[in-house]
């Protein structure tokens, strides 16, 4: 990865340094995808930043990308051996206590403090990688239940101790309903009928459950993918970024008022060179003097 030097300390302030970390991770991710024929596209605020600002939204502190499920699964298989030494592939398997239903690539030097933390997993600078599936609107409406079946076979929702009390109660209720649903779907005729019901209708790209967001993108809004400029570099975006962003944000070209130009993640403090207290963390001075 000699073509992707770590220039974080050239940032004008800590947010600028964080964004340089994120840009480097995105470049590495893009290179791995290109070498392995994997598809992805910029998503959410990252796509908005590319279109409206030509790069980061000035106050943004993460990067979001989406991958079709098959590409996502292959990436998860090769990421551990493909990333440079100073990046950590974060999943429930590599980081016990990690509760997100998607994976991340984390920097191993940095650390972020959030208002809702601390968490029992790495909180270093990261990019989010979301899996997407092609399904009908009925799949979208039944998203928390059909994923109990093959080929997904997800685990029922858990009342994670890291969540607020109201969220734990909600997850407990959902998990109980999912277990009951899976029990009834053990009857093959009933399951076959349910699956035929789900398959009726036009198909859309949507986040793989249990990711909560209910966006649904027609295939021709996403594919064929197109190159978009982000911080002077080319990355893949959806084929119709205008329609995609309008679905997401409405009037996306009008910036929010000044008081709302803040991190959506409640980041209180940024430590671009650490210390990173997580077991995956590295000491900046040991590697950079």
What's the 3-state SS for 139-172? HHHCHHHHCCCCCCCCCCCCCCCCCCHHHHHHHH
pLDDT at site 75: 98
In a domain, 93, yes or no: yes
In a domain, 168, yes or no: no
In a domain, 197, yes or no: no
pLDDT at site 167: 81
pLDDT at site 157: 84
pLDDT at site 1: 57
In a domain, 98, yes or no: yes
In a domain, 42, yes or no: yes
Query: What's the whole-model pTM score?
Result: 0.93
104 — phi, psi (to 5°)?
-135, 155
The total domain count for the chain is 1
pLDDT at site 203: 97
Other CB atoms within 10 A of residue 84 CB: 13
Strand partners, 130: 66
Range of the domain at 284: 8-133+207-288
Q: What is the CATH number of the domain that holds 229?
A: 3.30.460
Helix (H, G, I), strand (E, B) or coil at 212: coil
In a domain, 43, yes or no: yes
Walk along the chain (289 residues) and give the pLDDT tens digit of each residue.
568 999 999 999 999 999 999 999 999 999 999 999 999 999 999 999 999 999 999 999 999 999 999 999 999 999 999 999 999 999 999 999 898 999 999 999 999 998 877 888 999 999 999 999 999 999 999 999 999 999 898 988 887 777 778 888 888 899 999 999 999 999 999 999 999 999 999 999 999 999 989 999 999 999 999 999 999 999 999 999 999 999 999 999 999 999 888 888 778 999 999 999 999 999 999 999 7
In a domain, 166, yes or no: no
**Cα distance between the two ends of the chain:** 20
C-alpha atoms less than 13 angstroms from C-alpha of 225 in its C-beta half-sphere: 17
In a domain, 44, yes or no: yes
pLDDT at site 115: 83
């Amino acid at each position: 990865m000699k073509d992707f030097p770590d220039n974080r300390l050239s940032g004008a302030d800590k947010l600028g340094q964080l964004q340089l970390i994120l840009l480097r991770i995105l470049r590495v991710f893009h290179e791995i995808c290109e070498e392995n024929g994997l598809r992805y596209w910029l998503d959410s605020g990252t796509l908005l930043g590319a279109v409206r600002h030509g790069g980061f939204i000035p106050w943004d502190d993460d990067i979001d990308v989406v991958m079709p499920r098959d590409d996502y699964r292959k990436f998860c298989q090769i990421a551990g051996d493909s990333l440079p030494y100073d990046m950590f592939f974060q999943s429930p398997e590599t980081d016990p206590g990690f509760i997100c239903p998607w994976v991340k690539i984390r920097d191993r030097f940095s650390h972020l403090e959030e208002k809702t933390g601390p968490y029992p997993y790495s909180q270093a600078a990261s990019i989010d990688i979301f899996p997407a599936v092609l399904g009908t609107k009925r799949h979208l409406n039944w998203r928390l239940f059909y994923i109990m079946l093959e080929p997904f076979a997800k685990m029922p929702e858990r009342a994670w101790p890291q969540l607020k009390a109201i969220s734990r109660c909600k997850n407990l209720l959902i998990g109980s309903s999912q277990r009951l649903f899976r029990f009834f779907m053990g009857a093959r005729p009933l399951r076959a009928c349910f699956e035929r019901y789900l398959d009726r209708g036009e198909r859309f790209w949507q986040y793989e459950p249990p990711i909560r967001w209910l966006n649904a993108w027609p295939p021709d809004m996403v594919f064929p993918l197109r190159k978009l400029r982000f911080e002077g570099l080319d990355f893949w975006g959806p084929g119709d970024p205008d329609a995609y962003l309008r679905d997401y944000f409405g009037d996306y070209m009008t910036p929010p008022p000044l008081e709302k130009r803040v991190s959506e993640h409640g980041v209180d403090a940024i430590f671009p060179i650490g210390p990173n207290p997580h077991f995956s963390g590295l000491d900046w001075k040991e590697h950079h003097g």
